[in-house]
Structure 1
Amino acid sequence: MKLILKIIFLLPLMGFSQSDFEKAEKLFHQSKHALAKPIFENILKEKPSDLKTLEYLGDIEGASKAWTNAMFYYDKLRKLKPSEANYHYKYGGCLGMKAKESNKFKALGMIDDIKSSFEKAIQLNPNHIEARWALIELYLELPGIVGGSEKKAHKYSDELFKISLVDGYLSKGRIAEYFNRYKEAESNYKKAIEIGGSKTSYQKLANLYKNKMNQPEKAKLVLETYQEKNKS
């Protein structure tokens, strides 16, 4: 009898909790983060180890560039479920953004943790595209004296080719563009367009023409071509 009464009293509470979560989730997907955040925080008080709630809160903090707060949630996630690649990737991403805002001495102390977070994501999910992109950017932007390396960037770009040809060509284009090899970058972006025709591919080529090669008319033509091909 006591068990039945407990179930009867718990049912409305469970329904209320689920309703709150769905409401917060809907607000999140509408980019109404300021409204979703306090609801998720209240849910977390009742369920402090709820993975999805923790991730939403981390994503909200990340979207507002509150990197330390975001890292708190992602760190908790990777400890609660260390086998989930995305938790390590998101933690490493926030750590990298935090490093950019820190002084050089402090940032240097974060590099190993940033690398290991992305590498762990790849170890757990061998097809993790975003973690490889993050490592490419890291090795491009780091000074050579602390580990920056075009060769290492190409290593992860080569791995992308095995997972996604479009990402492979885009990453080769990105590396070439970074080192001012604009014709090489142009060729790779065009190949990405030929294979996938994604908006990102067209945008990368247009940005290259406009911002690096001083060819705004070509940039305009690229975007017009994309729009024409994707008319509904």
Structure 2
Amino acid sequence: MEKLILFFLLVPMCIWSQSNFEKAEKFYHAKKYDEAKVLFESNLKSKPSDLKTIEYLGEIEAHHKSWVKAAEYFKKLKELKPTEADYFYKYGGALAMRAMEINKLKAFGLIDDMKASFEKAIVLNPKHIPARWALIELYLQLPGILGGSESKAISYSNELAALSTVDGYMSKGRIDEYFKRYAAAEKNYIKANEIGKSKITFQKLYNLYLNKLKDPKKAQELKRKFEA
């Protein structure tokens, strides 16, 4: 009898928890992040190790650019499930965004953790494209004395090319653009756009024409073709 009573007490709680989570998801997908956050936090109290709830909360903090809190949620995720590549990638990404907001001295203290997180994501998922992009950007932005390296950026660009032809050309274009080799960047972005034909490949080439090569005629011609 006691077990039966306990069953009837627990069932409504489980239904409420599920309903609570589903409502939070709907708010999240509707970009009503504050409403979603309240419900997800409530759900987390009853299910403190629920991966999806923690991930949503991390994403909400990221949307609000609260990078410290986002990193805390993503760190918890990778500790709860250390076999999931995306959790390491998201943790490294939150640290990278945090590093952009603070002074350089403090930012340098995050570098090793960032790098290790992106590298771990690739170990767990050898086809992880975003982690390679993150490492390319990291090696471009870092001063040489702290490990910045064009050759390492190129190495990850070559790995991208083996996984995705478009990402290979895009990353080579990014490296060339960073070092102000605009003619070479143009060639790579053109190849990427010819293959990808996407808004992203178009935008990269368009911005290069408009902002770096200062060639509005080429930019407008590219835009005309893309819109057609």
TM-score tier by shorter-chain length is over 0.9
Equivalent residue, structure 1, for 2:187:
187
Equivalent residue, structure 1, for 2:62:
62
Structure 2, unaligned runs of 5 or more:
none
Question: Is 1:93 matched up with 2:93?
Answer: yes
Counterpart amino acid of 1:18?
Answer: Q
Question: Is 1:114 matched up with 2:90?
Answer: no
Hey, what's the Cα distance between the residues in 2 that align with 1:137 and 1:196? 21
Hey, what's the Cα distance between the residues in 2 that align with 1:20 and 1:209? 49
Counterpart amino acid of 2:153?
Answer: A
Counterpart amino acid of 2:80?
Answer: L
Hey, what's the Cα distance between the residues in 2 that align with 1:92 and 1:12? 39
**Aligned residue pairs: how many?**
228
C-alpha displacement at 1:12, in angstroms?
2.4
Hey, what's the Cα distance between the residues in 1 that align with 2:29 and 2:221? 33
C-alpha displacement at 1:10, in angstroms?
2.5
Where do residues 155-170 of structure 1 align in structure 2 (5 Å cutoff)?
155-170=155-170
Q: Deviations over 1:170-195 (max 9, x none)?
A: 00010011111111111111111121
* TM-score under structure 2 length normalisation: 0.96
Hey, what's the Cα distance between the residues in 2 that align with 1:12 and 1:211? 59
Equivalent residue, structure 1, for 2:79:
79
Where do residues 1-232 of structure 1 align in structure 2 (5 Å cutoff)?
1-228=1-228
Percent same amino acid at aligned positions?
59
Hey, what's the Cα distance between the residues in 2 that align with 1:207 and 1:37? 36
Hey, what's the Cα distance between the residues in 1 that align with 2:119 and 2:176? 23
Hey, what's the Cα distance between the residues in 1 that align with 2:209 and 2:149? 26
SS at match of 1:87: helix
Hey, what's the Cα distance between the residues in 2 that align with 1:25 and 1:90? 19
Hey, what's the Cα distance between the residues in 2 that align with 1:54 and 1:203? 34
* TM-score under structure 1 length normalisation: 0.94
SS at match of 1:226: helix
Hey, what's the Cα distance between the residues in 2 that align with 1:14 and 1:217? 62
SS at match of 1:28: helix
SS at match of 2:180: coil
C-alpha displacement at 1:224, in angstroms?
2.8
**For the structure 1 residues 12 and 106, does the alpha-carbon distance in structure 2 shift closer, same or farther, using more than 3 Å as the test?**
same
Counterpart amino acid of 1:141?
Answer: Q
C-alpha displacement at 1:30, in angstroms?
1.7
Q: Deviations over 1:167-220 (max 9, x none)?
A: 111000100111111111111111111212111001100011111111123222
Hey, what's the Cα distance between the residues in 1 that align with 2:101 and 2:75? 19
Hey, what's the Cα distance between the residues in 1 that align with 2:215 and 2:151? 30
Hey, what's the Cα distance between the residues in 1 that align with 2:7 and 2:99? 49
Counterpart amino acid of 2:215?
Answer: Q
